[in-house]
Chains A and B, each alone.
Chain A
């Protein structure tokens, strides 16, 4: 349990032990969400700051609620509006927050490695809420948490991750987390959307999604990141859906009790068809609930006070 005061920057750098600690703590904390009074006093007087250079309602709200359920105070900065336009650097913005008494900074940024940079600038812990194409560690953890609620173990599970792996920080975090816990991971997507040497991360890579879905216990559909692409890496959304979309027909290749997952927000009818997204095997909403519990666990574990 050596997480106190630590940064949460990537699952690649997180030990399997620390992952287990976070997951089992999340299990115990999840019950708070169903209480009539959704509050425990544990982080009273702590200040949790979200610093989101990239817009996100879902992840930011999830972190804020996690903090509030633990009685922490929250402050939410979206620099696109204010000081960034005046040319203030990330280092200056963050240090100003720190000297105001913020105890942890949770940052989302469009540049890979920027949370590592922030961790060099700040003394207080930094939590990566998504940096460029690099990682989204809390998403990886909540995805694993969700799988464990239904499958009770990760080792030996066949997980298929489909879509725009190249631009996906969610895919990378999941690959690191799942392989570390012993899952067999396969990724599939058009060649232009698979990054170089991806097999060196311990996964199988396919260009046909059918090959990855075959016999899978979990089918994970990635968002097509239209906003992150500057070049035309595939001709149209229609062709993408026809050739690579997660449809009912393709899903039938997976195991009967396979879980359907998606990090959200979904492009319905593009990477995932509506009937699959809304089917009873979809655990997409469970992922969201898990997200709050996992983030509560992380805040609890890293914010225990000063040395």
Chain B
């Protein structure tokens, strides 16, 4: 189900994305005083390649392999009854125990906060983490729930007529963040 949008401007290019992720990787190491018990969980769909890149940068910085899981939050959404068709359910694959871990949740855009809330529910159903931290590439404001991100690539104020597309090579063939408007 695609609503049509018109791209207005580029917010981040490939280099800016790379630098933001490297900076966030450093912040994760700093805040957690190392990578002991840290695991990355990418939220489907684009949070997953983001999480994998972060894992690569973390390995370069600290020389340590951080496990990466994939989480699909479709089944935990609070807006299923409003949708005309059921959304496709993607893959959830978390090949480690989350109990006692510092779970770093990774997503592309933080907007109303409902996706992160759904991800929190899903994670907690899988076990009792020590804590949950949130990484987003873009925080575009307009929170509807008391949710905040711990690590942000870029803050971008938007109106509700606008939408942010985070494009990643693994999914979209290019690295770019653009702002667009609904037609």
Contacts and interface: CB of A to CB of B under 8 A. Distances in A.
B75 A2 contact: no
A36 B126 contact: yes
A107 to B, nearest CB: 22
B93 A31 contact: yes
B82 A305 contact: yes
B127 interface: yes
A304 interface: yes
Main secondary structure of the interface of A (DSSP, over half): loop
B84 interface: yes
Interface of B: 72, 74-76, 80-86, 88-93, 121-122, 125-127
Given A1-B88, A28-B89, A304-B81, A42 B76 contact: yes
A29 B89 contact: yes
A67 B127 CA distance: 22
15 contacts: A1-B85, A1-B86, A3-B85, A28-B89, A31-B91, A36-B127, A39-B125, A40-B125, A41-B75, A42-B76, A42-B80, A70-B75, A301-B86, A305-B82, A306-B81
A41 B76 contact: yes
A300 B75 CA distance: 9
Contacts of A40: 75-76, 122, 125
Q: Closest 4 A-B residue pairs measured CB to CB? A: A305-B81, A40-B75, A28-B89, A42-B75
Nearest to B121: A41
Given A304-B83, A305-B80, A305-B83, A37 B125 contact: yes
A304 B122 CA distance: 19
A56 interface: no
A32 to B, nearest CB: 8
A37 B76 CA distance: 14
Interface string A1-30: 111100000000000000001001101110
Contact of B72 (A28, A37, A304, A306): A28
A166 B116 CA distance: 53
Interface size class of A (residues with CB under 8 A): 20 to 34
A35 interface: yes
Contacts of B125: 35, 37, 39-40
Nearest to A29: B89
B178 to A, nearest CB: 27
Contacts of B84: 4
Contacts of A305: 80-83
Contacts of B81: 304-306
B86 A4 contact: yes
Contacts of A304: 80-81, 83, 85-86
Interface in A174-209: none
Contacts of B80: 42, 304-305
A246 to B, nearest CB: 36
Interface string A112-152: 00000000000000000000000000000000000000000
A103 B75 CA distance: 18
Given A42-B75, A306-B81, A37 B86 contact: no
Contacts of A3: 85-86
A40 B73 CA distance: 10
Contacts of B91: 27-28, 31
Interface string A34-73: 0111011110000000000000000000000000001000
A24 to B, nearest CB: 7
